[in-house]
Amino acid sequence: MSGAAAMEGGAENRSQRDSDIGWFLDRANQAAKGIGEAWEKAAAHVEIATAHANLGNRAAFWEAIELAHQAAAAINPAWAGAYVSCWLHEFMAEGQVRAGNVAGALNMAAGIEDAVGKARAYCTIAHAQAMAGNKAAAREAIERAEQAAAKVAGDASDAAYMSIAYAQASVGDVAAALSTVGRMVHLRFAALCQIAFAHAEAGNSSASMEAIELAKQAAAAIRDAGWKAQAYCSIAEAQAKVGNIVASKDTFELATRAAAGIADVGWKASTFLEILQAQARAGDYEGAMGTAAHINGAWNKAAIYEDIAQAQARAGEVEAVKGWIEKLTEPAEVVNACLGAVRGLLGEED
């Protein structure tokens, strides 16, 4: 085959791949709109947004993000929806910074009306700048975050101060970070874990372990089952990051015990899923398999279709994937399968 013919064949293959990716993303978007559970719909649109971001589809990315925000606004309880919305703001800011558009990220953060979301977006920018070595710019972003957080009344300020503490630790302002933790009401454990992560990233394992011990004390005092589970999950992941694997596994066990006491079925399932994902990231695969037995819900169970579609698409069996996706009836299954196929076509690893 001549060089010109090979180039032509490669272009045709890329064109077919792009066409297939478009087909899967279109199906995923249609299916996501049919998901009834608000948090599952928000998660679906976030996953779709991520795929568009990886492909450089800016307009489609923002469209998916807006749909995720709309879904998050309908989540019950309201505090959970607010948490998802804040996370979306962070996700958006991080995407801008990763693309090298710091100015765009700052403009986006400035335009956020929700004070907590604004603070967390600025903190995401600050952390990225700190990791890039630009601590002066990071501190400027932290100052803007603090200005936004000062406008938040009551318990809601915890979410803002948690991000601020992490950003402060990222630039080495440990005393300021601990002072910020002292201003928090319920999420001290999370802020302390964020500080532990920042120390671990900087290679300061002893300081990281000190923050973890303080987080354990805060977690032990939590009465709400959901928050206690979140606390122990975060602490376990922090322990794994500093190499304390045995303690990490024990703390993950405390997290699963706490999660079992969550009354809301959907929230319980999503909490167990978060624990499972954290266990996998920490290398506790045996524990993750045990946690999987506790997970139910259409979105969580549909993940298996993503793995199958990803492997099959990577093997070149795209039409076969399309065939069985067309037979799926649950929207969550369709979304997961389509996004798995996209990852397979892009050659992403599991």
The pLDDT tens digits of the residues spanning 83-132 come to: 676 667 777 777 677 667 788 888 878 888 788 888 988 998 898 888 88
Residue 26 near residue 335, CB atoms below 8 Å: no
Compute the radius of gyration of the chain from its Cα atoms: 21
Establish if 171 belongs to a structural domain: yes
Establish if 97 belongs to a structural domain: yes
Q: What is the domain extent for residue 136?
A: 76-185
DSSP assignment of 102-123: HHHHHHHHHT--SHHHHHHHHH
My answer on whether 224 and 243 are in the same domain is yes
Residue 72 near residue 116, CB atoms below 8 Å: no
User: Which of 252, 282, 297 lies at the terminal end of a domain, its last residue?
Assistant: 297
My answer on whether 164 and 235 are in the same domain is no
My answer on whether 161 and 246 are in the same domain is no
Higher pLDDT, 120 or 26: 26
**pLDDT (0 to 100) of residue 99:** 65
User: Which of 163, 185, 207 lies at the terminal end of a domain, its last residue?
Assistant: 185
CA–CA gap between residue 293 and residue 338 (Å, rounded): 25
My answer on whether 309 and 343 are in the same domain is yes
Query: pLDDT tens digits for 185-224?
Result: 666 676 677 777 676 766 777 777 887 887 788 777 777 7
My answer on whether 168 and 210 are in the same domain is no
Establish if 51 belongs to a structural domain: no
DSSP assignment of 78-108: HHHHHHHHHHHHHHHHHHHHHTT-HHHHHHH
Tokens of 188: 């001290």
pLDDT grade, residue 6 (50/70/90)? very low
Average pLDDT of the residues in 244-266: 89
* Percent of the chain residues topping a pLDDT of 70: 84
Query: pLDDT tens digits for 318-345?
Result: 999 999 899 988 899 899 999 999 999 9
Establish if 14 belongs to a structural domain: no
My answer on whether 238 and 326 are in the same domain is no
My answer on whether 219 and 275 are in the same domain is yes
My answer on whether 113 and 175 are in the same domain is yes
My answer on whether 224 and 266 are in the same domain is yes
Our count of domains for the chain comes to: 3
Average pLDDT of the residues in 61-73: 86
Least confident segment among 49-53, 133-137, 214-218, 233-237:
214-218
Q: DSSP character for 186?
A: S
Tokens of 253: 């066990």
**pLDDT (0 to 100) of residue 79:** 61
Establish if 24 belongs to a structural domain: no
Establish if 21 belongs to a structural domain: no
User: Which of 165, 185, 205 lies at the terminal end of a domain, its last residue?
Assistant: 185
Residue 243 near residue 205, CB atoms below 8 Å: yes
Establish if 71 belongs to a structural domain: no
CA angle, residues 172, 177, 183, in degrees to nearest 5: 170
Count CA atoms within 13 Å of residue 247 on its CB side. 15
Is the confidence at residue 43, as pLDDT, over 50?
A: yes
Scan for tokens 């992941």, then name that residue.
Answer: 237
CA distances from 32 to 166, 239, 249, 265, 340 (A): 33, 36, 35, 21, 14
